[in-house]
Structure 1
């Protein structure tokens, strides 16, 4: 008869206890110690984990809206911000010189120009991580007859609208494209507002 190891009992402990019971091996002993068969450890099943692409991990290449891939438009955005802030200062100066509703229209136009510069500056920051807001850039607008200054701004708004539309056609960034189209439409509206002010003078 074979004596099996007790559950939870190690081989060494069992042999030590068995030697106390049977200090000498005897031929007439009906019991025989049967050591458990060594079984291989069960294989650890690991599910295959797909390799993570570094581009997916960083996420930089996936950003198509105002991401690092649009950094090529950085100088262009800086130029537009400068132009919008220059128009803001010019409209502020003209608003102080035009009486009545014309002055109020120019004052509102100046505020819209500043907001447009802010939107462009925000896009620049999202792309580059650098804040671009040239508060002190540019000189004060030259003092000239109001009608001449308004005519100059009317033409500047038309040129700006054309530049924005060309920029929209030249970018693969859908957010920049929408921003440039929006800026072009606003510049065309501003040109008509300036025309309306001139008609009141």
Structure 2
């Protein structure tokens, strides 16, 4: 009896495998390799090489195309860290709940600087975190320093909103809007601290 083999199997491979599986019944195999099926070509899959530069250009969210915003991000990081240091210094000078509010505000300023620094890194591949940059805030009356910070937060919110309107990067735009909202909230926290004094 002629053996029928499975389509797509090579006769020689099939016989070798069959001998290992069924060593005593070599000629009784109910299957046979069909040569025509074994010769059928497989469908081709074409993979196009995309140069790395082209791949980077297609990144629309915090990609190399947003590198024009690098100096602006550095400036914002510097400002947030300066506000962080100022709020820390003021928190030590304001007693009670106002001091705690300023301490929390300082921590939020540092987190904001970290978020901006992360965006800068994702865009440029360079970590920007100016350690110890800038001097301690000048010692002035607490209320005058808080007034100055209140105004700085309002100016910062306006700058962030303008930056959001001037970018085509959707992630950077969202980050700038979020930063503007936070700066406005910080201005009201400072106002609240002043009201408690």
The normalised TM-score by structure 2 is 0.76
Q: Deviations over 1:145-199 (max 9, x none)?
A: 0000000000000000000000000001010000000000000000000000000
Aligned pair count reads 158
Alignment of 1:1-201 (within 5 A): 47=44, 49=46, 51-54=48-51, 59-201=55-197
Between Structure 1 and Structure 2, which shows a larger proportion of helix residues?
2
Structure 1: segments with no counterpart, 5+ residues: 1-41
Is the partner of 1:69 in helix, strand or coil?
Answer: helix
Over 3 Å counting, the alpha-carbon distance change for 1:85 and 1:46 in structure 2 is same
Paired with 2:71 and 2:142, the residues of 1 have a C-alpha distance of 32
The normalised TM-score by structure 1 is 0.74
Runs of 4+ in structure 1 deviating by more than 2 angstroms, as ranges, are 44-55
> Which of 1 and 2 has greater Rg?
1
Structure 1 position 48, deviation (Å): 7.7
Structure 2: segments with no counterpart, 5+ residues: 1-38
Paired with 1:51 and 1:132, the residues of 2 have a C-alpha distance of 36
Two-structure CA RMSD over aligned residues (Å): 1.9
Over 3 Å counting, the alpha-carbon distance change for 1:51 and 1:114 in structure 2 is closer
